[in-house]
A and B are shown apart, each in its own frame.
Chain A
C-alpha cells in the first residue's frame, strides 16, 4: 500500500511533464490548427539553452527558467513567420510534415554536435535533497516540478478560457476576418500564440534538465507519448490536455509497478480504447 502511494506520486510528477508539453501542443493546435511536431525538439532546445546558460555564461537555473522559453519561443516565432505562415491555407498535413522534418533536422544537428549520451545538469542547490514522507523519499526538486507545472497549466487555461485576451484568441480561430475587422492584429496574435506554445515546451525542457540528462534525443522519445496524450484528451482542448497529462502519468506510473514491461505501451493502449469509444477524445468536441 505504501509503495502504491509512492507510485501514484511519481506518476503525478511524470504527468506534470506530459501536461506541460501537451498543453503547449493543445494551445498551438486549438488556436492555430497546426500540428506542431517540432515540440519535442523545442523541449530539448529548452534544456540545452539552460545548459548553455549555465556552462557558457554562468547563468543559473532560475534565470534559465525565464530566458530559455523566451529564446526558444523566439526561434519558434521565426519558424512560424518564415515557414508555417505560408501553409495556413493548406491541409493540416503540410504543417505536420514541415514541423516533423524540422524536428528531425534540429535533433540531427544537436546529436551531431553533442553526441547521444547527454550532458550533465545539476539540481539547483536550493532544491537539492529531499524529504521522507514515510511512504517514500520525495526529492524536493520533484515536488517543485509538480507545483510549478500546476501553476503554469492552470494559469494558461485561465488566460485562454476566462480572460478577454483569451476570448480574442478563441474568436480569431473561429473567424479571423471578423476579428480583424474589429481592429485586432490577427497574424501578430497568432505568431505570439505560437511563440507562447513553444515557450511552454522550452520551460518544460529547463525543468527536465536536472532530472534527465540534457540529451539531443530527450524530446524525440517524449513527443510521441505527448501526442497520444493530446489525442486522448481531445485535440485542441486545453483542460483536456492538462487533465489527461496528469492522468496518464498516473496510469503509466501504476503500470511501472504492476507490469513494468508494458510501461511504454500502456498509453497507446489507452489511446486505442479511447479512440474506439470517443473518437474526438475524452474532452474534445466533434466538429
Chain B
C-alpha cells in the first residue's frame, strides 16, 4: 500500500512538469544535495550552517527549479569524526537517495567520503577539506576539489614568506590528515626555496592550550612558526603566541590556513599583519560584495569564507553539468563538470582538471591594522595574486591515477 501511494505520488509530481520526459535520467526525479559539514565544533563558523545557506543560494541563483528540476537540500553534522561522516554518507547514498555530497570540512572525514562516493558512483564536491591528497594519491573520478588545498596554501603563504627572508621554520601541526598534509606540503616548499625546518610538534585537534608547543617553538629559535592547523586551533595559537611575546621576540607566525571568520574572531588588534593565502575574498568586486551581503543576512551576519563561496560556486557548476547531461549520475556529471569550463560570479572563469582539481587564482593577503579597517569585515589587503596556472600543484606531480 505504501509503495503504491509513493509511486502514485511520484507520478503526480512527474505529471505536473511539462518537461517530465527530459528528466528521465534524474534519479527519483529529484536532485538531492547532502551538505555534510561541521555543525557543532571548531569549523562551524567557517562552514557549518553557512554552507547550507550557500547551497540554498546556489539552487536559487541557478534557476534550475524554474526549468522543471526538483532539488532538495539536506544537511548533517559529521562531528569531525570519520566514522560518523562515513556512516552518514552511506546512509545518504543508500537510503536517502542523495546524489551529491558537498562541503565536508575536515580532511579526515573528506577522505572517507571521497572513497565511499567513488564506490557508490555518486558525486562529491569538496569545498571544506584541505588535503591535497584528494586530487593526489586519493584522487577519484567522482570528486571535484573546488576551493583550496594544502599544496596551494603551502605554495602561497610558505613560498612568499621564505622568499622574503623567513628561511628557518618550526611547525605546530594539527595531528590528523589535514595538518600532516599541510605540514608536508609546506616543508617541501620551504626546502625547495633554500630554507630549513628546525623542528615540529604535533598537537591533537581541538587543543585549548598551545603554550607548551609555543614554548618549544620559541626555544627552537626558528624565524617562522608555521601553524599547520585550522579554526579554533589557529585562533588559540595566534592569541597565545601574542601572550608569550613570540612576535615581539623577533619570531613571526605563519598562519597557513586562516579563514575570514578566524580573523573576525581574533580581532584585528591580534591578527594584524598575518599573511594568508585565500582563493576568495568578499570585498573583491561588486558581484562578490552583493553575494556577501545576501549571505550575511542568511548566516547570522557572518560574511562568507572561501569555503562558503566554494559550496555555492561548485553547486552552480554542478547544476550546469546536470542540465547539459539531463542526468544526475555521479560519475557522468563529474566527468561533464571537468569537460565544461567554469564561470561563476565568485571565482570567475576557470576549469577543472582531470584529477578533479578546480583551478583558479589565489590571493596572498595581509590582515589590516585596526586603523586601516573602514567598515565591518574590512580585514584584508591583497598583496599579490598568484595566477591560476601557478596556484595549484602541477598535474604531473600529484600521483593521481587519472592522469595519464
Q: Which residues of A contact B (CB under 8 A)?
A: 2-3, 6-7, 10-11, 13-14, 111, 113, 115-120, 122-123, 129-130, 136-137, 139, 141-142, 211-213, 215, 217-218, 221-222, 253, 256-257, 260-261, 263-265
Contact = CB atoms under 8 A, between A and B. Distances in A.
Contact of A256 (B42, B43, B213, B261): B213
Contact of B232 (A117, A130, A136): A117
A137 B45 contact: no
A201 to B, nearest CB: 16
Given A222-B208, A256-B213, A117 B261 contact: yes
Given A115-B261, A117-B232, A260-B202, 8 more contacts: A6-B219, A116-B42, A116-B232, A117-B44, A120-B267, A213-B232, A213-B266, A263-B207
B239 A213 contact: yes
A136 B215 CA distance: 8
A215 B232 contact: yes
B269 interface: yes
A221 B233 CA distance: 13
A137 B44 contact: no
Contacts of B46: 117
Contacts of A130: 243-245
Nearest to B259: A117
Interface string B204-222: 1011110111011011000
B211 A13 contact: yes
B404 interface: no
A250 to B, nearest CB: 11
28 contacts: A6-B215, A6-B219, A10-B209, A10-B212, A13-B211, A115-B44, A115-B45, A115-B265, A116-B231, A117-B42, A117-B45, A117-B232, A118-B235, A118-B265, A119-B265, A123-B243, A130-B245, A137-B244, A139-B245, A212-B236, A217-B40, A217-B41, A256-B212, A257-B212, A260-B175, A260-B202, A261-B175, A263-B212
A172 B245 CA distance: 50
Contact of B270 (A10, A120, A211): A120
A190 B269 CA distance: 45
B203 interface: yes
B302 interface: yes
A148 to B, nearest CB: 16
B185 interface: no
B48 interface: yes
B269 to A, nearest CB: 7
B249 interface: yes
Given A14-B209, A111-B44, A116-B45, A213 B244 contact: no
B212 A137 contact: no
A130 B214 CA distance: 15
B272 interface: no
Contacts of B213: 256, 260
Interface string B28-62: 00000000000011111110100000000000000
B240 interface: yes
A178 to B, nearest CB: 44
A118 B270 CA distance: 14
B264 interface: yes
A3 B219 CA distance: 7
Given A116-B45, A116-B232, A137 B261 contact: no
A221 B208 contact: yes
B201 interface: yes
A12 to B, nearest CB: 11
B204 A264 contact: yes
Given A116-B44, A116-B45, A117-B232, A264 B211 contact: no
Contacts of B236: 212-213
B243 A139 contact: yes
A161 B110 CA distance: 54
A132 B206 CA distance: 29
A217 B44 CA distance: 11
B71 to A, nearest CB: 26
A32 B249 CA distance: 49
Given A117-B235, A139-B243, A260 B45 contact: no
Contact of B41 (A6, A116, A129): A116
B208 A260 contact: no
B167 interface: no
Closest 8 A/B residue pairs (Cβ)? A117-B265, A256-B212, A116-B44, A120-B267, A115-B45, A264-B204, A117-B45, A139-B243
B245 A116 contact: no
B2 interface: no
Residue from B204, B208, B261, B300 with most neighbouring chain A CB atoms (10 Å): B208
B215 A3 contact: yes
B240 A117 contact: no
A129 B212 CA distance: 18
A43 to B, nearest CB: 12
Nearest to B231: A117
Nearest to A107: B40
Interface string B182-213: 00000000000000000001111011110111
B203 A10 contact: no
Given A115-B44, A217-B41, A260-B202, A212 B208 contact: yes
A141 B215 contact: no
Contacts of B244: 130, 137, 139
Given A137-B244, A217-B41, A261-B202, A253 B212 contact: yes
Contacts of A218: 208
A118 B232 contact: yes
A135 B311 CA distance: 48
Given A10-B215, A117-B45, A260 B264 contact: no
B328 interface: no
B262 interface: yes
A74 to B, nearest CB: 27
B218 A137 contact: yes
Contacts of B270: 120
A130 B45 CA distance: 32
